Amino acid sequence: MAVEEFEDTDEVEKKQGSIRHEFWELIRVLVISLLIVIPIRYFVAQPFVVRGASMEPTFQDGEYLIVDELTYRFHPPERGDVIILRYPRDLRKFFIKRVVGLPGETVIIEGGKIKIKSGDGGVPILLEESYLPANILTYPDDVMALGEGEFFVLGDNRGDSADSRVWGVLESNKLVGRAFLRLWPLSRVSVF
C-alpha cells in the first residue's frame, strides 16, 4: 500500500506570500534608489574620465573625477577653476579645461605670457599661473575680447591642447560643471 505525502497548504501559502513580499520589497528598494540616484547623477554630480594629455601635469590620462554640476547654478566660474565643458564643435564630446578669461575681459597672449585687461579699459595685468610649471609658455600670440557669458579656457599642457586658442570663446551654456574630486588613481586622490 502506497502512502502519499501532502504539504500543508498553510505552509505553501506562507512560502508564496513570503516570495511575493520579498519581490515587492526589492521593487520598492529599486524605485527609491532610482528616485535618489538619478537626480543626483543628472543635476548634482557625475563621473568624468580624463582622456588625453591636454591638462598635464595637473590631470593625467585615465584619471577618474567627480564633476560638481551644482555650484555654477549659484555663481559663475572663477579664474583658475578647472571645468568640464561640452566641446563647442561637437556637443556630444566633453573636455576638461581651466578658466583663464572671464566675461567682459580681454585676454592678451603675447610672447608666451597671458595678460588680462578688465572690461573697464584698465592696464593689462600679467596672469600669475602658479598651477603651471614655470617653463610652460602660451602660444600663438592673440587678443580676444570676451562678451557677456563668454569664457576663455586653456588646457594646462599648452603645447598639446585644443582650447579657446583653436575654437574660440566658451559660451556659458556649454559649461557642465567643475572638477570637484579626483578618485583615481588612489595615490592622487584629492579635492579641488
Which positions are catalytic?
Answer: 54, 97
- Count CA within 13 A, CB hemisphere, residue 45: 11
Using an 8 Å Cβ cutoff, are 63 and 184 in contact? Answer: yes
Q: Which residues contact 174 (CB under 8 A, 6 or more apart)?
A: 85, 86, 87, 88, 91
Beta strands in 25-105 (DSSP E): 45-49, 64-68, 82-86, 94-101
Nearest CA to 79 out of 152, 169, 161 is that of: 152
CA distance 89 to 147: 19
CA distance 53 to 183: 18
